[in-house]
Structures are given as structure tokens and as C-alpha cells.
Chains A and B, each alone.
Chain A
Amino acid sequence: MPTTRSSRTHSVPTDTIIRLTNCLVPVENRLVPGTLLINSTTGLIISPQDVFYDSKIQPTSTIDLHGRAVVPGFLDVQINGAYGFDFSDASKTDEEYSRGLKEVNRQFVSTGVTSYCPTITSQKNEVYHKVLPHLGPSPRNPTLGSSSLGAHVEGPFLHPERNGIHPPHVLQKPSEGLKSLETVYGKQNLESNVKVITLAPELLPPSSLPSLPSVLASKNIILSAGHSTATFSQLVNSNISMVTHLFNAMHQPHQREPGIPGAVLADVSVSKPRFFGIIADGVHVHPANIKWAYHSNPSGLCLVTDAMALLGLEDGEYVWGNGESIQKTGGVLTLKGTTKIAGSCVTLLECLNNFMRFTNTGIAEAVKTVTKTPARMLGLEGVKGCLEPGADADLCVLEVRGDGSVGVEEVWKFGVKVWEKNGVRRRREGVMEVSRL
């Protein structure tokens, strides 16, 4: 699947180069004073050293960030919708869907999420064929707001015993391996629009299981285990290196059967990294579980919201895509008439603040769970989720509050400031023209 990359990586003298100074940047697990150079024309972070030695490439402007922190833009690899728009909603016309998606991307960027994987829950085949063509990687254009990295299809190959709120009647068995996937999602969608597939690996025919992850990896698709009854050894032997919303919709660790959590948290090495999404809304997973999961496999934890279209709407009863009702009570969503949790309603920023509180980690360390780690999981290391030269200049400027929590004050996309918090005084006095470094 093509990921939209910059057409050129080197800077030329006519480019717009911006120097962010007087800011704190994450280095290892600390925030340290630093400066950041970005090329607004190519949309990339550039090396201060290259600019220093090349007299022809010089910053056109310098922006003083007054001691605030600059971190990579956040990545959310599991989000079902926002601002009333459900990515799985196939009842709209193509035009309505496209317009709604554009509007969501523009609003969504204000939460600090600069790239994400729009997530489709279990649906009938025709829904995938209809919506997936809209959800492939977004064009490289900062005015579009948050961009898709390709869709996350969560289902329909899920285990009926661990369906969560996915309607049982649409679940399927991938009896023919890759061919089943092609039939359900569409061959073209697998080539260009799908980035992550959540399925229950125990449902796959034994003949296709060991090779499927690498076959999909050759299409840059990540296979993730979820809504599954897989045992420890089933997951270890599956070659699958990602787990969807750890602890939710799977067997819990047992003293003689550690299950999926045991595999993803303990069967890890440098040559065999394992990743997992986890919902840190404080409801889906107990804070203590988040803490020990993180300490067991710190470089594998990706915070996800699993947020639904109801994010940002009033409390009340809402009808889900397949006709079932969901009750929204504050940040809690339940399937009406039950206590089953039905997705979340939190922003990734709230998850990040929760995570820092639950695990007692600092900003520089915690922010990796929404930047560097999901980028590595998606195979986008060095492109997204970091501040290294050559990476996309997707940035969040963070306010650090007295209690240690953070707020998003500015969001930059491809080297352009696309959002600024209301009430933040435009610090024009901090912008000055400089002729040289």
C-alpha cells in the first residue's frame, strides 16, 4: 500500500525553513532544551547540522515557543469515528461520506492526532467495498487536517465468543485464508487502502496461519490478533506481532494459561518485538493492568482510543450502525440494556494524561506510546512519530500544567501550523526575520 511520502527529501534555497527555538524536545526519556528546524515546503524535519554548514539553506523565520514542549503529532491506530461521523456508516452517499470525512479530519486534528487509522467494525461485505476506497492514505496536504494512514478493519473474522459488541450475525470464518480476506475487503482495498487487520488467529485454517502475516506484510499490512480465544502458544506460533486492545475481548491471564496477554507481554525480544493497543480511558482496562503491561513490554504499548462517532456529542441513547442501541453516559458507552462496554468516548490526549498518572511516567517517555511506538508498529519508523531529520514535520506544541498533565496548544502538519488553541495569544513578537542562523 502506498504511503504518501515527500517527493524530495533534500532542501533547496527557495524552500521555506522555520526554526522553532526555546522549546523542550524529547530526547530518550527526558525533555531537554533544543531547537527544531522544519522545511514547510517539503513538510519534513531537517537537520540543524545541514543548515549550519550549508550557507545557501537558511531559516526564513524563527519562532520562539517560550519554553513549551514540542513532540511528534499523535497517532491513533484504532478509532471508529468522531464528531458524529462513523467510519463504518455506509448509509451515506459517496459524496456525503467524503464530505463528512473531510470535516472530521479538519476538526480531529485539534486533538493533537495528526495521523490515524480509521477503524471499521464488523460489517457485511458490501460495507467494506463501499467505505474502504475513502479511507486509504490521505494526500500530502496540510490543509486537510489529520490524515489517514490506511484503514484498520476490525472484523468480521472475529471469534463469536469474544465478539464484544460486534453483531454475531455478520461475523465470518476466514476458511480460505488470504482468499477470504480478499473476498470480504476487496482485493484492491487490500492493495491500497487497508493498513491493519484485526482477526482471531485461531479461526484461520492451519495451513495459512504461519505465512499469512508475512504475505500481508509484503503489502505493508499489519495483522493484529483480537476478539480472540487464542491461547498463549497459539499466539506465539502465529507470527502475529500485534494485539488489538489488550485485555479486552480475550481470555485473561490464568496461572497455567497466560493467553494473549502473556504472549504479547512476556514472549518479547529485540529481534521479536511485539506491540499491543490498549485503551487508557480508565474504564476499559484497570489502571493497574496498564501499569504492569507497560512495565512488561514498554516498547510495545500503543495507546488507542477505540473512540466512537459519539465523541464530542451529548449524553443519551444512540443507534449503532447495525441497529443496536448504545447508551452514552459521560465518557462511558454501553450496549443498551447490558453492562457490555461499547467503545470509548475519550480523546487520545486524555488517554495520554491518564497513562502518565497510572504509570507515573514523564511526558517524554509517555508520549512514545502515541508516537514512536505506533509508528514502529505500522512500519513507519523515521517517517512518523519522531523528530528526526527526514521525518514528516507533524508536531504538537504542548502546555505542561502544574499537575504534570499536558494540553495541546498548537498542531503542525507537514511543517505548517494548522491549529492553535483559542485564547492562546498569538505570540507575534516571537516571530522575527533572520538572515542567518
Chain B
Amino acid sequence: MRLIIRDTKTQTSQWVAEYIIKRINEFQPTKDRPFVLGLPTGSSPEQIYANLVDFYRNGKVSFKHVVTFNMDEYVGIPTSHAQSYHSFMFKNLFQHVDIPPHQIHLPSLENYAEYDNLIAGYGGIELFLCGVGSDGHIAFNEPGSSLASKTRVKTLTSDTIAANARFFDGNINSVPKSAVTVGVKTVMDAKEVILIADGRGKAEAVRQAVEGSISHMWTVTALQMHPKFIMAVDEAATEELRVKTVKYFKDIEGASTILGNPKPKL
């Protein structure tokens, strides 16, 4: 794995957005050979999406031949609900760029059984962008989820429901009780995964992901087995890591630059 550490969330988001457009542009996607991108929602990726929109507006990238698959969506609220992930994606990314609507996919009660096959039909996900929960969950794969799981319906834990109540006028009863989510295996099947984490609240999850052992109690740790995995974090999210670990990954990043494997310019 690679661990990219930047001082602030803004710098981390900038790095990730630049990495994504570099990958799309190098891929040279066409109608018949689109770039397949996996996408998360939540507060972590908001700035990344804003940066992607800026790059699109400045002509640095086009989403015309990009196919997207979102990680998850609530069950039991309409897609037009202000807190649905349909709304989040439309507001933060889709309405601002040139992606054709039929190239966008979000999991639902109707399509979840076929979701992994649908992805495979496009030749798999080229790059999966992920967030991570403070308990180490990726998508809605909460502690104890099978590391071999595929897209399915999950009941949300009361912790997650309580944490999400802030988006539903503080009313726990308004928070959906289940969600459709890609599995850990769905993420693992992507050709490349970038995981983003920022803030002190994510520091323990970052420690588990980097220094911990593989365990379904921290589903993010499954990514240690991924052949092409990047974590992009800010300083605050490294606070639970050993100093030695942080230094090691900073050294590696510096060395790889010298060896002609250039990091995207900041």
C-alpha cells in the first residue's frame, strides 16, 4: 500500500482529485472503453468533488466516457429526499459535470442482486474511491461484516443511526434503518482503491488499517490484501500511528518520487 500524508484535508483532497483526473486522462476513455469509477458519499469526499468540478470547468477533465458506481444508498427514503445519496451526488458532482445520466449507477432494492455483475460487465471498477467510518467500516460494511461480502441489504447499527441523526433534523426515528451497500469483496475486486480519511476522529481506524491485523471487526483492514491500494490522509488522522510508521511512509513517498514514479504535482 501507499500512504499519502498531507498537512490538511484541503491538501489531501487536492492530491486525490489530481490523482483521479490523472488516471482518467491517462486511461484515454472512449465510448466503448469507458473509465469505471467507484464513488463514496459523506463529508470526506465533498472537497474532492468540488475540486473535480473545478477541473472539469477548467477543461482539465471530461466525464463523458466515465461510468460511475456508488457504494451505497439508504433504503426507505425517496431518491429525491435531501439526505439521499442520489441527492448528495447530484448536488456535489453530477449536475456540474458532463456525465450522461445513463452511465451513473447507485445500488437499490431493485438492482442490488445484479450490481456486482453489472460492474463486471464493464470490466470491473478501474478506481474505487472510499471513505472510512471511525469504527473502520467501508461503505455500510460495519464491524463483523464478511470480508467476502458482495452487494446486499444491510441493517444499520444503532451507532450508525445515531451518528446519522444529525442529517435528519436530529430525529433518530427519521433515519432509515437499512441501506443497500456494496460488499467488502466488491471494493476488493476493483483494480485500484483510494481510501480517504481526515481528522482525529478517524485516527484509530487509520491505525487499524495500516498497523492492525486483518479482521472483520475493522472491515477496512481487508484492503491490506489489495494489490493496488492508496490511503490519503491528513496529519490529524495519523495521530494514532507510530512515529516510525509515519516516517517510513513519508520516506517511501519521497524515494518513489526520486525513482521517477512522480506523485501528482501539488
User: What separation, in Å, do the CA atoms of A436 and B101 have in the docked complex?
Assistant: 9
Does B94 lie within 8 Å of A52, measured CB to CB? yes
B150 at the interface (CB under 8 A from A): no
**Surface stretch bound by A, among B45-53, B79-87, B111-119, B231-239:** B79-87
B31 at the interface (CB under 8 A from A): no
A50 at the interface (CB under 8 A from B): yes
List of B residues within 8 angstroms of A47 by Cβ: 80
List of B residues within 8 angstroms of A437 by Cβ: 101
A416-437 residues at the B interface, CB under 8 angstroms: 436-437
List of A residues within 8 angstroms of B102 by Cβ: 55
B84-102 residues at the A interface, CB under 8 angstroms: 86-87, 90-91, 94-95, 100-102
Does B86 lie within 8 Å of A49, measured CB to CB? yes
Does A55 lie within 8 Å of B80, measured CB to CB? no
B134-179 residues at the A interface, CB under 8 angstroms: none
List of B residues within 8 angstroms of A50 by Cβ: 80
List of A residues within 8 angstroms of B104 by Cβ: 53
List of A residues within 8 angstroms of B101 by Cβ: 52-53, 55, 436-437
Does B79 lie within 8 Å of A53, measured CB to CB? yes
**Residue of B86, B87, B95, B101 ringed by the most chain A CB atoms within 10 A:** B101
A48-83 residues at the B interface, CB under 8 angstroms: 48-50, 52-53, 55
Contact flags (1/0) for A82-102 with B, using CB distance below 8 Å? 000000000000000000000
Does B95 lie within 8 Å of A53, measured CB to CB? no
Size of the chain B interface, CB-CB below 8 angstroms: 12
Interface residue tally of chain A, by bracket? Answer: under 10
**Residue of A48, A53, A55, A437 ringed by the most chain B CB atoms within 10 A:** A53
User: What separation, in Å, do the CA atoms of A55 and B90 have in the docked complex?
Assistant: 15
User: What separation, in Å, do the CA atoms of A198 and B104 have in the docked complex?
Assistant: 55
User: What separation, in Å, do the CA atoms of A55 and B104 have in the docked complex?
Assistant: 11
User: What separation, in Å, do the CA atoms of A28 and B191 have in the docked complex?
Assistant: 43
User: What separation, in Å, do the CA atoms of A52 and B99 have in the docked complex?
Assistant: 11
CB-CB nearest in chain A for B102: A55
**Residue of A49, A55, A437 ringed by the most chain B CB atoms within 10 A:** A49
List of B residues within 8 angstroms of A436 by Cβ: 100-101
User: What separation, in Å, do the CA atoms of A49 and B95 have in the docked complex?
Assistant: 8
List of A residues within 8 angstroms of B87 by Cβ: 49
- Looking at the assembled complex, report how far the CB atom of A147 sits from the nearest CB atom of chain B, in whole angstroms: 28
CB-CB nearest in chain B for A47: B80
User: What separation, in Å, do the CA atoms of A50 and B95 have in the docked complex?
Assistant: 11
User: What separation, in Å, do the CA atoms of A437 and B100 have in the docked complex?
Assistant: 8
CB-CB nearest in chain A for B91: A49
User: What separation, in Å, do the CA atoms of A50 and B102 have in the docked complex?
Assistant: 13
User: What separation, in Å, do the CA atoms of A418 and B90 have in the docked complex?
Assistant: 32
- Looking at the assembled complex, report how far the CB atom of B102 sits from the nearest CB atom of chain A, in whole angstroms: 6
User: What separation, in Å, do the CA atoms of A107 and B80 have in the docked complex?
Assistant: 38
List of B residues within 8 angstroms of A53 by Cβ: 79, 86, 90, 101, 104
CB-CB nearest in chain B for A52: B101
CB-CB nearest in chain B for A389: B80
- Looking at the assembled complex, report how far the CB atom of A73 sits from the nearest CB atom of chain B, in whole angstroms: 24
List of A residues within 8 angstroms of B79 by Cβ: 49, 53
User: What separation, in Å, do the CA atoms of A437 and B103 have in the docked complex?
Assistant: 13
CB-CB nearest in chain B for A48: B95
User: What separation, in Å, do the CA atoms of A49 and B86 have in the docked complex?
Assistant: 8
List of B residues within 8 angstroms of A48 by Cβ: 90, 95
- Looking at the assembled complex, report how far the CB atom of A334 sits from the nearest CB atom of chain B, in whole angstroms: 53
User: What separation, in Å, do the CA atoms of A437 and B80 have in the docked complex?
Assistant: 18
Does B80 lie within 8 Å of A52, measured CB to CB? no
User: What separation, in Å, do the CA atoms of A240 and B87 have in the docked complex?
Assistant: 39
Contact flags (1/0) for B3-27 with A, using CB distance below 8 Å? 0000000000000000000000000
User: What separation, in Å, do the CA atoms of A68 and B123 have in the docked complex?
Assistant: 46
- Looking at the assembled complex, report how far the CB atom of A153 sits from the nearest CB atom of chain B, in whole angstroms: 39
CB-CB nearest in chain A for B104: A53
CB-CB nearest in chain A for B99: A52
List of B residues within 8 angstroms of A49 by Cβ: 79-80, 86-87, 90-91, 95
A1-56 residues at the B interface, CB under 8 angstroms: 47-50, 52-53, 55
User: What separation, in Å, do the CA atoms of A436 and B94 have in the docked complex?
Assistant: 15
- Looking at the assembled complex, report how far the CB atom of A209 sits from the nearest CB atom of chain B, in whole angstroms: 35
- Looking at the assembled complex, report how far the CB atom of B93 sits from the nearest CB atom of chain A, in whole angstroms: 11
List of B residues within 8 angstroms of A52 by Cβ: 90, 94-95, 101
- Looking at the assembled complex, report how far the CB atom of B238 sits from the nearest CB atom of chain A, in whole angstroms: 37
B57-110 residues at the A interface, CB under 8 angstroms: 79-80, 86-87, 90-91, 94-95, 100-102, 104
- Looking at the assembled complex, report how far the CB atom of A53 sits from the nearest CB atom of chain B, in whole angstroms: 6
CB-CB nearest in chain A for B86: A53
User: What separation, in Å, do the CA atoms of A50 and B100 have in the docked complex?
Assistant: 14
- Looking at the assembled complex, report how far the CB atom of B85 sits from the nearest CB atom of chain A, in whole angstroms: 11
List of A residues within 8 angstroms of B90 by Cβ: 48-49, 52-53
- Looking at the assembled complex, report how far the CB atom of A392 sits from the nearest CB atom of chain B, in whole angstroms: 19
User: What separation, in Å, do the CA atoms of A170 and B212 have in the docked complex?
Assistant: 88
B171-190 residues at the A interface, CB under 8 angstroms: none
User: What separation, in Å, do the CA atoms of A50 and B84 have in the docked complex?
Assistant: 12
**Residue of B91, B95, B104 ringed by the most chain A CB atoms within 10 A:** B95
User: What separation, in Å, do the CA atoms of A47 and B87 have in the docked complex?
Assistant: 11
List of A residues within 8 angstroms of B80 by Cβ: 47, 49-50
List of A residues within 8 angstroms of B94 by Cβ: 52
User: What separation, in Å, do the CA atoms of A318 and B264 have in the docked complex?
Assistant: 79
**Residue of B80, B102, B104 ringed by the most chain A CB atoms within 10 A:** B80
- Looking at the assembled complex, report how far the CB atom of B82 sits from the nearest CB atom of chain A, in whole angstroms: 10
- Looking at the assembled complex, report how far the CB atom of B163 sits from the nearest CB atom of chain A, in whole angstroms: 25
Taking Cβ atoms with an 8 Å cutoff, the residues of A that contact B are: 47-50, 52-53, 55, 436-437
- Sorted nearest first, the 4 A-B pairs with minimum C-beta distance are A49-B90, A52-B101, A50-B80, A53-B86
Beyond A50-B80, A52-B94, A436-B100, list 8 extra A-B contacts (CB 8 Å).
Answer: A47-B80, A49-B91, A52-B90, A52-B101, A53-B79, A53-B90, A55-B101, A55-B102
11 contacts between A and B (CB under 8 A): A48-B95, A49-B80, A49-B90, A49-B91, A49-B95, A50-B80, A52-B101, A53-B79, A53-B86, A55-B102, A436-B100
